[in-house]
């Protein structure tokens, strides 16, 4: 029996397997394809996701195959006027990494798969399509397709990272919440053969004649996404001759080789029900985000970071499995906020007719509007219910020069005033020891500045670096420390 069986070996499945495999859990991965998908798909992740890769021990490998940039994303109308800019960050941002990383997905997946292969407790089965999955009370059950051996397996939990047409989601019985965007776009990837002086930042062309996205990926790779218009034939538009006609305003066949062209339907949906008993879902199985702000894959990575430490607690017997119910309640509001932003941005990009005229009028005066991503704030769950609890804590460097997460590892942490921590009574220290918390007194100027800003003397962080709670004095630190053990008793 596996501790966790993961259906799907894309980025979400691979990351979750790595996070659990690092802890020595018996993990089985089941992937219906015989090999990894060789063509580009997602192209962007942010500083928070790089921080998650850091916790998985692959940050340096990711840095080697990605392009970090301080540039933001520009939204330009048909007249060439910049309407909006998604802000960039100069140098490493609050997560300790650049806030924008571009990548070729096969390279990213190879880094994750290499890391998974280094975990002796993880078994990977490719060309193994799961055709049935059930929660059987004291365990979960999976069955492979007859053509793939027809074997049956059991696990304590099953996580479906099996994409938009998720079998595991169907087994849970989830319904969809539709946030209102459904639009086919042509996605084209090219490899440049010569320099055409194209910008190194992403441009959203808010042109009613044909809304489009132009993106610099890595090396000589570039992507264009173009909205299908009335009268476009999805079968004809992907033919190379037609693709080159659409790309002609930027490049020609003499400039680049066409790697692929495909029509995707951009949509905005969130599953209602991410868990039923021993079955859970993550990534595209739980939500699908329009790509206008580059956050689709990022959401799945955040799912894995949230779910991994909770599965660890439950599998090791440190928490009742009711802790897993906090997974959806915490993650769903954050996913919802990002999808809502993507839908609003999509409305700006895709506006036509009178809506486009009104859009341009609104942005006519003054400088371009600047905007950023929603904060990584959790919904109700395994944390105190007063801010800044539930917020993602920044990653400074500590007094010894290490990045904070490298000093902590994948566990809880207590950071704060040295005198307060030194004089904590034994029962408080017992609470910290029960969850194997790292204790860091006087962590440095950056953490102390954060504590001062929140009128706190100490902060307790969860393994996913979200704030569990803050304390202004010894009694408050004792109170929130006492809640670390019985996390399952927190109100959801």
Q: Are 378 and 307 in contact (CB under 8 A)?
A: no
Distance CA 16, CA 311 (A): 10
Q: What is the DSSP letter of 327?
A: H
Per CATH, 2-64+103-177+268-334 and 404-489 having the same topology is answered no
CATH number (3.30.300.130, 3.40.980.10, 1.10.357.10, 3.40.30.120) of 404-489 reads 3.40.30.120
Contacts of 418 (CB under 8 A, 6+ apart): 441, 442
Q: Centre a 10 Å sphere on the Cβ of residue 142 and count the other Cβ atoms it contains.
A: 24
Q: Are 333 and 306 in contact (CB under 8 A)?
A: no
* Most distant CA atoms of the chain, gap in Å: 74
Per the document, the length of the chain is 492
Helical segments of 39-198, H only = 47-55, 59-65, 105-117, 167-172
**How wide is the angle at C-alpha 451 spanned by C-alphas 477 and 483, nearest 5°?**
25
CA atoms within 13 A on the CB side of 118: 14
Structural element, H or E, at residue 266? strand 256-272
Q: Which long-range contacts (CB under 8 A, 24 or more apart) does 104-107 make?
A: 104/40, 104/43, 104/65, 104/217, 104/218, 104/219, 104/221, 105/11, 105/37, 105/40, 105/41, 105/42, 105/43, 106/36, 106/37, 106/38, 106/39, 106/40, 107/65, 107/66, 107/218
Q: Are 341 and 284 in contact (CB under 8 A)?
A: no
Q: Where are the beta strands (DSSP E) in 341-457?
A: 369-371, 413-416, 438-441
Contacts of 115 (CB under 8 A, 6+ apart): 14, 18, 56, 57, 58, 61
> Which pLDDT score is estimated for 90?
78
The interaxial angle of helices 296-315 and 11-21, nearest 10 deg, is 30
Distance CA 344, CA 272 (A): 22
Residues in the chain with pLDDT < 70?
A: 365-366, 486-492
Decide yes or no: CATH 3.40.50.1980 for domain 2-64+103-177+268-334. no
Q: Centre a 10 Å sphere on the Cβ of residue 346 and count the other Cβ atoms it contains.
A: 22
CA atoms within 13 A on the CB side of 123: 11
CA dihedral 418, 419, 420, 423 (to 10 degrees): 120
Q: Centre a 10 Å sphere on the Cβ of residue 374 and count the other Cβ atoms it contains.
A: 14
> Which pLDDT score is estimated for 489?
41
Is the bond into 388 cis (omega within 30 degrees of 0)?
yes
Contacts of 117 (CB under 8 A, 6+ apart): 124
Q: Are 391 and 466 in contact (CB under 8 A)?
A: yes
Q: What is residue 38's three-state secondary structure?
A: coil
> Which pLDDT score is estimated for 486?
64
Distance CA 201, CA 72 (A): 7
- The helix/strand count (H/E) of the chain reads as 14, 24
Kindly list the domain boundaries of the chain, sorted by start residue. Answer: 2-64+103-177+268-334, 404-489
Distance CA 381, CA 333 (A): 11
User: Residue 469: which of 358, 382, 411 has the closest Cα?
Assistant: 382
> Which pLDDT score is estimated for 487?
59
Distance CA 71, CA 90 (A): 8
Structural element, H or E, at residue 419? helix 418-422
Please report, for residues 16, 167, 316, 393, the alpha-carbon distance to residue 319 in angstroms, rounded to integers and kept in the order given.
19, 28, 8, 23
Model confidence, pTM? 0.96
Q: Are 304 and 52 in contact (CB under 8 A)?
A: yes
**How wide is the angle at C-alpha 48 spanned by C-alphas 315 and 268, nearest 5°?**
85
């Amino acid at each position: 029996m596996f501790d966790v069986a993961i259906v799907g070996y894309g980025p979400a499945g691979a990351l979750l397997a790595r996070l659990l495999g690092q802890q020595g859990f018996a993990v089985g991965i089941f992937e219906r394809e015989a090999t990894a998908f060789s063509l580009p798909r997602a192209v962007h992740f942010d500083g928070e996701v790089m921080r998650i890769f850091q916790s998985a021990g692959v940050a340096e490998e990711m840095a080697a195959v990605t392009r970090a940039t301080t540039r933001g994303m520009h939204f330009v109308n048909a007249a060439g006027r910049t309407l909006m800019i998604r802000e960039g960050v100069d140098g490493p941002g609050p997560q300790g990494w650049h806030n924008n990383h571009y990548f070729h997905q096969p390279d990213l997946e190879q880094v994750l798969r290499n890391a998974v292969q280094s975990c002796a407790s993880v078994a990977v089965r490719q060309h193994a399509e799961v055709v049935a999955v059930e929660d059987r009370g004291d365990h979960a059950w999976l069955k492979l397709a007859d053509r793939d051996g027809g074997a049956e397996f059991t696990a304590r939990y099953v996580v479906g990272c099996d994409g938009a047409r998720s079998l595991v989601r169907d087994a849970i019985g989830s319904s969809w919440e539709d946030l209102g965007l459904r639009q086919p776009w042509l996605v084209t990837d090219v490899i440049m053969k010569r320099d055409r002086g194209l910008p190194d930042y992403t441009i959203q062309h808010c042109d009613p004649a044909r809304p489009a996205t132009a993106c610099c990926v890595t090396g000589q790779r570039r992507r264009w996404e173009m909205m299908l218009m009335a009268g476009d034939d999805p079968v004809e538009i992907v033919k190379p001759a037609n693709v080159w006609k659409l790309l002609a305003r930027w490049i020609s066949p003499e400039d680049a080789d066409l790697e692929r062209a495909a029509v995707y339907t951009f949509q905005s949906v969130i599953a209602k029900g991410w868990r039923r008993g021993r079955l859970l879902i993550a990534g595209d199985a739980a939500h699908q985000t329009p790509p206008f702000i580059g956050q689709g894959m990022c959401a799945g990575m955040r799912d894995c970071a949230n779910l991994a430490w909770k599965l660890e607690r439950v599998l090791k017997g440190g928490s009742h499995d009711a802790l897993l119910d906090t997974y959806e309640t915490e993650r769903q509001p954050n996913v919802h906020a990002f999808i809502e932003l993507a839908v609003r941005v999509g409305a700006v990009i895709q506006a036509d007719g009178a809506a486009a005229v009104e859009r341009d009028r609104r942005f006519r005066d003054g400088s371009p509007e600047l905007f950023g991503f929603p904060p990584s704030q959790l919904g109700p769950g395994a944390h105190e219910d007063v801010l800044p609890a539930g917020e993602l804590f920044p990653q400074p460097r500590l007094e010894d020069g290490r990045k904070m997460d490298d000093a902590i590892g994948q566990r809880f942490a207590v950071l704060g005033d040295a005198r307060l921590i030194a004089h904590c009574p034994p029962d408080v220290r017992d609470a910290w020891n029960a969850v194997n918390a790292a204790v860091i007194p006087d962590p440095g100027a950056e953490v102390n500045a954060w504590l001062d800003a929140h009128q706190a003397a100490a902060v307790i962080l969860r393994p996913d670096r979200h704030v569990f709670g803050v304390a202004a004095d010894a009694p408050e630190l004792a109170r929130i420390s006492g809640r670390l053990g019985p996390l399952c008793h927190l109100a959801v």
